[in-house]
Chain A
Amino acid sequence: MATLAEKILANHCGRKEVGPGEFVNCKVDLVLSNDITAPLAINAFNKLGVGKVFDSSKVIMVPDHFCPNKDIKSAEQAKMMREFAKEKKIAYFEVGQKMGIEHVLLPEQGFVLPGQVIVGADSHTCTYGALGAFATGMGSTDIAVAMATGEIWMKVPPTIKFTYNGKLPKWIGGKDLILYTIGEIGIDGALYSAMEFTGEAIEELPMSGRFTMSNMAIEAGAKAGLFQVDDKSREYMANHSDKNYSVVQPDTDAEYVKEIEFDVSNLEPQVAFPHLPSNTKAAKQAGNIKLDQIVIGSCTNGRLDDLRIAAMLLKGKKVNSDLRCIVIPGTQKVYMDALREGLIEIFIEAGAAVSTPTCGPCLGGYMGVLAAGERCLSTTNRNFVGRMGSPDSEVYLASPAIGAASAITGKISDPEEVI
């Protein structure tokens, strides 16, 4: 009678079962931080006075937000993290080497296993739920405690089950499903809860789309967004990790706080308008929204499948002369795979800028900051006021298919418009 989240948490606190609302102390399998959150975590860690991390093979630091360093202050933060990582002998992914955006990188490099508990000082840590792990974002102080002790307190969340019925229509991917879901339930529609995604349409959805959905669970306020392990996730694991893992599945009579069903057979590609991810409508209903910039990439949509869809639409076409299109592969591996497949050539021929992996523009850091009055359609995950630059700019969230189509037309466009 336990949900996936409850079972995983019970396994990690030495209990047979746990129920929603209970406070438990959980053992963690991976502890993550990045160049923005690690400096605060390191300061907090040093205050604990323990000297070493609980297990250097389970602590990971990724320089991705403002790296390659965008300015002197960022360089100082990255340096502090690099030196700490070296001193404690923990996994660190240097710029240009086997690096990437943390939530694309960790599953790709085989760190994430089904059934794990993973905590990260980054709200999009929930991405790993796509592989059936319980993964959640926390602040730097929590992460410092997890680095020191290998444990962290959690309140067991209630689980909301989302069932997606019907066949996935053409162009519909994980981004459309999750934007539509957030549009229906609101940005606090799953506050403090775990989301469990299932249904006929989910069975069809590739791993890349599942990562996108789990990634944005936080955009509905959720603590985690989980998928059951199936053939697609097993195949992904076989290709990315040689570590053993045990599969945890929810009980068939698990108790959910709410069950929500959607029929997606007629779903249209979705766009979230400013300034909330819940402000969604079909791209076809967008009206004439002229754009100044397109960003294709991020921990939400920076995987090879995402770049393939964008390249398919941009092949032989030109980016509209009134806008900038910026493509950012999620990791060095994605970059290299895209290069070998000829996707990078397609982007550059079309007139897009291609960057080394970084979170840069998503949070208004660098590599595509917006001026007042500018509009960007982005495959990222947040469109709050000022998210990508000036508080007087606008961000529209959508899939790589809509991103590529809109890059060609210069306005928000359904992919069918450019076919």
Chain B
Amino acid sequence: MILEGKVHKYGNDVNTDVIIPARYLNVSEPSELAEHCMEDIDPTFVTNVEPGDVIVAGSNFGCGSSREHAPLAIKASGVSCVIAQSFARIFFRNAIDIGLPLLESNEASTEINDGDKLEIDITNGKIEDTSQHKSFSSKPYPEFMTNIIDAGGLINYTKNNLRGK
């Protein structure tokens, strides 16, 4: 599957409190959460983001709380994929569980600029920066996680397993 969109670029340690501030966690509906996505780090994000867009950030993306509302808000805002040098552990699990693709690449994280246009082949992790005419490859997922991703997230994966028992 090929994803296409423009880049919203951020730095290191983008935490779940800025991705979706806790003051909005009195709801669980993804579309309502998306209205406040990235609000405390980039108040313009919500008005600028378009379906397919990509967040590119530095290291430790998604650090902080376990709130699944963070990847849900990002996904519901239209973002198709997050690229970073590294992801915080719980955010990583949550994103895989709900089917928000994440890609890890030092080079892509450093060299891609805000506003660049990207084409991403999610099946092989190839990232094409069509604004700069550069391409990057990302770290492949372990097989165990590919199984969850291929099933469409942890709920479907678990349902398949339960059916098999």
Given contacts A123-B66, A141-B94, contact A48 B162 (CB under 8 A): yes
Chain A residue nearest in CB terms to B65: A123
Q: In the complex, what residue of chain B is closest to A71 when comparing beta carbons?
A: B26
Inter-chain contact A153/B144, CB cutoff 8 Å: yes
Contacts of B90 in A (CB 8 A): 123, 137-139, 218
Chain B residue at minimum C-beta to C-beta distance from A157: B89
When distances are taken between beta carbons in the complex, the residues of chain A under 8 Å from B88 are 188, 191, 221
**Is A66 on the interface with B (CB-CB < 8 A)?**
yes
B74 on interface, CB distance cutoff 8 Å: no
Q: How large is the interface on A (under 10, 10 to 19, 20 to 34, 35 or more residues)?
A: 35 or more
Verify A77–B28 contact, CB threshold 8 A: yes
Q: How far is the CA of A142 from the CA of B95 in the complex (A)?
A: 11
Chain A 112-152 interface 0/1 with B at a Cβ cutoff of 8 Å (1 = within):
00000000111101000000000001111110110011000
Pair A121/B41 contact, Cβ less than 8 Å: no
Binds B, one of A171-179, A199-207, A225-233, A382-390: A382-390
B17 near A188: Cβ-Cβ < 8 Å: no
CA distance A291 to B23 in the complex (A): 22
B23→A39 contact, CB < 8 A:
no
Task: Write the B20-57 contact mask toward A (1 if CB under 8 angstroms, else 0).
Answer: 01110111100000000001110000000000000000
**B142 within 8 A of partner (CB):** yes
Does B153 have its Cβ within 8 Å of any Cβ on chain A? yes
Within 8 A of A (CB), among B57-97: 59-60, 63-69, 71-72, 86, 88-90, 93-94, 97
* Chain A residues near B155 (CB-CB < 8 A): 44, 47-48, 141, 144-145
Contact A221 B18 (CB under 8 A): no
What range describes how many residues of B lie at the interface? 35 or more
State whether A188 and B63 are in contact (beta carbons under 8 Å apart), knowing that A23-B144, A48-B159, A386-B40 are contacts in the complex: yes
Write out, one digit per residue, whether chain A residues 195-225 have a CB within 8 A of any chain B CB (1) or not (0).
0000000000000000000000010010100
Asked whether, in the complex, the Cβ of B67 is within 8 Å of the Cβ of A187, the reply is no
A43 vs B90: C-alpha distance when bound (angstroms): 19
**Contact (Cβ within 8 A) A221 B89:** yes
A163 at the interface (CB under 8 A from B): no
A66 to B23, CA, bound (A): 10
Task: For A66, list chain B residues within 8 Å (CB).
Answer: 25-26
Contact code string A151-169 (vs B, CB < 8 Å = 1, else 0): 0010000000000000000
Min distance, Cβ A122 to any Cβ of chain B, angstroms: 6
The answer to whether the Cβ of B119 comes within 8 Å of any Cβ in the partner chain is no
Q: In the bound complex, do residue B154 and residue A145 qualify as a contact, i.e. CB atoms below 8 Å apart?
A: yes
Q: A49 and B26: CB pair below 8 A?
A: no
Q: A188-B60, A365-B22, A386-B40 are in contact. Are A138 and B86 (CB under 8 A)?
A: no
Contact A191–B66 (Cβ < 8 Å): no
Which B residues are in CB contact (< 8 Å) with A60? none
Q: Is the CB of A365 within 8 A of B23?
A: yes
Q: What 4 A-B pairs have minimum CB-CB distances, sorted nearest first?
A: A139-B94, A139-B68, A73-B26, A363-B22
Apart from A142-B154, A385-B40, list 9 A-B contacts with CB within 8 A: A36-B67, A37-B67, A125-B66, A139-B68, A141-B153, A149-B162, A363-B65, A365-B25, A385-B41
Interface residues of A (CB under 8 A from B): 23, 36-37, 39-40, 43-44, 47-50, 65-66, 70-71, 73-74, 77, 120-123, 125, 137-142, 144-145, 148-149, 153, 187-188, 191-192, 218, 221, 223, 276, 363-365, 369, 382, 384-387, 389, 391
The residues of B with any CB-CB pair to A shorter than 8 Å are: 13, 15, 17-18, 21-23, 25-28, 39-41, 59-60, 63-69, 71-72, 86, 88-90, 93-94, 97-98, 142, 144, 153-155, 158-159, 162
Q: List 30 A-B contacts (CB under 8 A).
A: A36-B25, A37-B66, A39-B28, A40-B69, A44-B155, A47-B155, A48-B155, A120-B66, A121-B68, A137-B66, A141-B68, A141-B98, A142-B97, A142-B154, A153-B144, A187-B13, A188-B59, A188-B60, A188-B88, A191-B60, A191-B89, A221-B60, A221-B63, A364-B21, A364-B22, A382-B65, A384-B15, A386-B40, A389-B23, A391-B39
